[in-house]
Amino acid sequence: MIALKNISKVFTPGKHTITAVDNVNLTVEQGQIYGIIGYSGAGKSTLIRLLNGLEKPSAGSVTINGQVISQAKGESLRQARLKISMVFQHFNLLWSRTVSENIAFSMQIAGAPKAKIKTRVAELIELVGLTGRENAYPSQLSGGQKQRVGIARALANRPDVLLCDEATSALDPQTTDQILDLLLDINRRFQLTIVLITHEMHVVRKICDRVAVMESGRVVEEGDVLTVFTHPQQPITRQFVRQVSQYAEDDAFNPLLASELGGTVMKLTFTGHSTHQPVVGELTLRYGLPFNILHGKMTQTAHGVFGELWLHVAATEEQLHNILADLGRSGIEGEVVQHG
C-alpha cells in the first residue's frame, strides 16, 4: 500500500545542511493504522509531507497504491493527493464557513456535483457525530468538535490514505480518547489506511497496529505494537513505553529494594491470553513454595494486553530452572533479576 525506500530529505538553509529524514525504509499494509512516533525534531513531520508530495525526497522513493508519489507532478500529483487526505493538529478550518461548508470545501475544489456534495456531507456529519451542528461556525465548537469536522473534511473525497499529523495533541485526554475511538471505527468500517504522526505513546497504544520510532531523522525501532511495548530495544523506545504506562523511571520497581529479603526476584512478562492465567497460584501448588508479589502492572493495546509481574521466592537452582521452563511452555517470559 505505502512503501518508503531509502528515503532521505536534506535541507540546505544558507551554508548549513540539515538531514531531516535519513535513509528511512517503511512499509504500511492496506487497512493498517501505522504510528510514527518521535520527539520534536525527530523528522516525523517532514516524513508525512513526503507521503503526500508536499516535499520531494533528496533520495529514495515514496510509492502509494502503486503510484510513485515522489515522482508525480502537476495534474498527476493533484489527482494523487485527492486520495491522500490530511488531519491537522490545529484543525485548519475555514472560520467563515459553517461545519457543512467546511466539509464540502474539498469536494467543491475537486469539482463534485452539488447534489453529490450535499448527500456526502450529510453522511459524514452523522459518521463523525456532529448531527445538529451542521450550521455552526468553528468559533462555536469545542476542540473535539473542530477535529471531528477536520476528519469529516478529510474523508469527503473517499481517500485511500488518511494522514494524521499530531491530530490529538491540542486536545484534552478525554477528548483525545474520543477522537482515537472515532479513527479506529473509521478504520475498521472502511478499511482505510491511517498513518499517525505523534509524540504520545498513548495514541500508538490505543489504536495502532504497527509503530516506527524516529530519532534524529532515522527509524531506530519498528514492529507490531505489542512486541515493541513488551520488548523495547532502544533507550528512546523504553522512554516512550514508560510514558504510556504512566510509570516514571523513579516509580518503576527497583529490585534492590527486595535485596534484604534474600532469595530470588523474578520478572514475568505476559502478553495476550497469558495475562488471564492464574500463574502465581499454579506455581505455588506445583512447587509448594510461597511466591510474594512485589510489583505488577498491565497495559491494554489495540491488539491485546501485556503485563509485568515481579515475584520474590526462595527456590533452589533446580526449582528455578523448572519454574522458568514451565513459564515458557505457558507463553510467559520469565527472567531472574536477582538471585541470592
* In the chain, % of residues over pLDDT 70: 92
**What domains appear along the chain, each with residue ranges and CATH number?**
2-245 (3.40.50.300), 254-339 (3.30.70.260)
Check residue 217 and give its pLDDT: 96
d(CA 321, CA 331): 16
The pLDDT tens digits along the chain (340 residues) read 899 999 999 998 878 899 999 999 999 999 999 999 999 999 999 999 999 999 999 999 999 988 999 888 888 888 888 899 999 988 999 999 999 999 999 899 889 999 999 999 999 999 999 999 999 999 999 999 999 999 999 999 999 999 999 999 889 989 999 999 999 999 999 999 999 999 988 899 899 999 999 999 999 999 999 889 888 899 999 888 877 655 444 445 555 555 566 678 888 887 766 566 788 888 888 888 888 888 877 777 777 777 788 888 888 888 888 888 888 888 888 888 877 6
Check residue 338 and give its pLDDT: 79
d(CA 154, CA 162): 7
Check residue 196 and give its pLDDT: 95
d(CA 339, CA 326): 18
Check residue 78 and give its pLDDT: 85
Check residue 118 and give its pLDDT: 96
Q: CA quadruple 42, 222, 204, 275: dihedral positive or negative?
A: negative
The helix or strand, by DSSP H or E, that contains position 209, with its residue range, turns out to be none
> Can you give the pTM of this predicted structure?
0.81
DSSP per-residue letters across 252-302: S--GGGGGGG-SEEEEEEEEGGGGGS-HHHHHHHHH--PPEEEEEEEEEET
Asked if 74 and 226 touch (Cβ cutoff 8 Å), the reply is no
Instruction: Give pLDDT tens digits for 276-310.
Output: 678 888 888 888 888 888 887 777 777 777 778 88
CA atoms within 13 A on the CB side of 195: 28
Supply the DSSP symbol for 169: T
Asked if 51 and 84 touch (Cβ cutoff 8 Å), the reply is yes
- Residue keyed to cell 485548519: 92
> 335 by DSSP, 3-state: which?
strand
Asked if 244 and 232 touch (Cβ cutoff 8 Å), the reply is no
Question: How far, CA to CA in Å, does 188 sit from each of 140, 152, 176, 201?
Answer: 30, 16, 18, 21
d(CA 229, CA 35): 13
Taking alpha carbons only, the member of 200, 181, 178 closest to residue 246 is 200
Give the total residue count for the chain: 340
Residue 57's beta-bridge partner residues? Answer: none
